[in-house]
Chains A and B, each alone.
Chain A
């Protein structure tokens, strides 16, 4: 590791830790206040799993250049793994209320297991990816997403109507991981912490020798193989790694929802959780930029929230309001607009770094100022 890279890790890492600590303190002070508890905290939870979903798909789509349309399948695996495990622990009497060290241990165990099981399925999906590319791989992964939903629907202990009414016979909300609104505030530190840690791990992955190999495979597979890169190994590894974080996203989803149902993960689902929606997030942020995925996940969350709850929507003419009842229509328009006007996404392949970004931003602002002044001069000259 060279010196600048090391310094970057130290500066950015320390800042992230400080920001995280500040956030935890802030969340604790705002505590159980109405607006924070009912609107902001659930929103942050939702952002957390959307960020993880987008960033993890970016590993496959942006860095490895393979289109995967079944990402929510991995998320579903993670969500059900975490939910069922927590219920099992609760039944076994490991914890009875959602507090204390035992519950915390169960919480993190559930999150990690969710990731690991999803990663195991990632390996299974990664193996056909060795032989297939582009459209063909997209179809395979699309099929995987559909199959997973059907398999979960037919599991005796999960059931078609979700955990609440399945033979598990207990609402996730009451006894398992599912947090109520006050728990969502109390465990906000865990959700945000897990997300930050996962994004950091992904960032380190793409910056490492492994990440460079994956980008080499994206650019030219034959040249990568000729350079001594085991392309098959890296493809499966990336799929598994990506699936792991999607699984963690699923676990966070299970945490902040009252009940689980496969409807939320199905391909035809019109809401925010849908494999095509995740693709839109990645493309909007920039394929090959984790910074972009994080930002676009938040942007898309806000957009989704505004479409569903914004007061301005009521002021729109009727037919547009009608379209807004089908949010996917709006996302399709967003996707078309990005592809037309900024095909590389908001950030392209740019990554935020405290070492570079402030300086570059300052330079750009100065350039902008100069540009304006020059324009003004031009106008004055024209007026004379």
Chain B
């Protein structure tokens, strides 16, 4: 579904991504793990067009994403949940979700997606009238994910969904990601919490200072000595 070949990204003179290639197939849950500053977020930002690539190719079902402006990419079925719980703080939960469906014109579909999101995130349904800025961190993360689901995307880019959450909430968020994966949504997950990410993923890539150092089935990486030493603290 998503195919990246020899991607390079620079911020001025700083080369953040130095030629990576990765692939995510239909229905797969693939995670991208690595330390701070490895280029994980940059990779996602480049895929969804928020940061321009300097060279290489990114295609979604054969369509060139580098030539698509960011506001059009979501129309192709690729939704991005940015890092750090970006919600519209002064809008209610329901208005936030409606904004997620901004590009959807079909009202019946909006209603359907809203029900679907509330089914996955019952807590959001309870708080549909509350202002998003007053939600807890975990609820804001759920809202950001729910909002991305409003367009009925084929593929979801999740950036550090567990960041700054309590262990119980991290578990909850990961079980929801698992549910979404089981519902057939293709997911590219970026995480620092490598253990949790690998536990639910099909495959994974390890990113180190702008280059992919390792890749393979998640279970294999989970038991790989190098990965365990570097990222799993074992």
Which A residues contact B (CB, under 8 angstroms)? 209, 212-213, 215-216, 218-220, 222-231, 288, 349
Contact = CB atoms under 8 A, between A and B. Distances in A.
Consensus secondary structure, chain A interface = helix
A213 B98 CA distance: 11
A220 B50 contact: no
Contacts of B72: 228
15 contacts: A209-B102, A215-B88, A215-B90, A216-B88, A220-B86, A223-B82, A223-B86, A225-B70, A226-B86, A227-B74, A227-B103, A227-B147, A228-B75, A228-B103, A229-B71
Interface residues of B, number: 29
B52 to A, nearest CB: 14
B107 to A, nearest CB: 10
B69 interface: yes
B58 interface: no
Contact of A219 (B69, B81, B89, B102): B89
Interface in B52-108: 69-75, 79-82, 86-91, 95, 98-100, 102-103
Contact of A226 (B69, B82, B95, B98): B82
Given A226-B79, A226-B82, A227-B100, A220 B89 contact: yes
B87 A225 contact: no
Contact of B80 (A213, A219, A226, A288): A226
Contact of B50 (A212, A215, A225): A225
B141 interface: no
Contacts of A212: 95, 98-99
Contacts of A225: 50, 70-71
Contacts of A220: 86-89
B91 A216 contact: yes
B42 interface: no
B102 A227 contact: yes
B151 interface: yes
Contacts of A231: 71
Given A220-B87, A227-B99, 14 more contacts: A212-B99, A219-B87, A219-B91, A220-B89, A225-B70, A226-B48, A226-B50, A226-B70, A227-B100, A228-B102, A228-B103, A228-B151, A229-B71, A230-B69
A213 B88 CA distance: 10
A358 B69 CA distance: 46
Nearest to A220: B86
Contacts of B103: 227-228
Interface in B165-184: none
Given A213-B102, A223-B86, A228 B91 contact: no
Given A213-B102, A229-B102, A222 B71 contact: no
**Most chain A beta carbons < 10 A, residue from B80, B102, B148:** B102
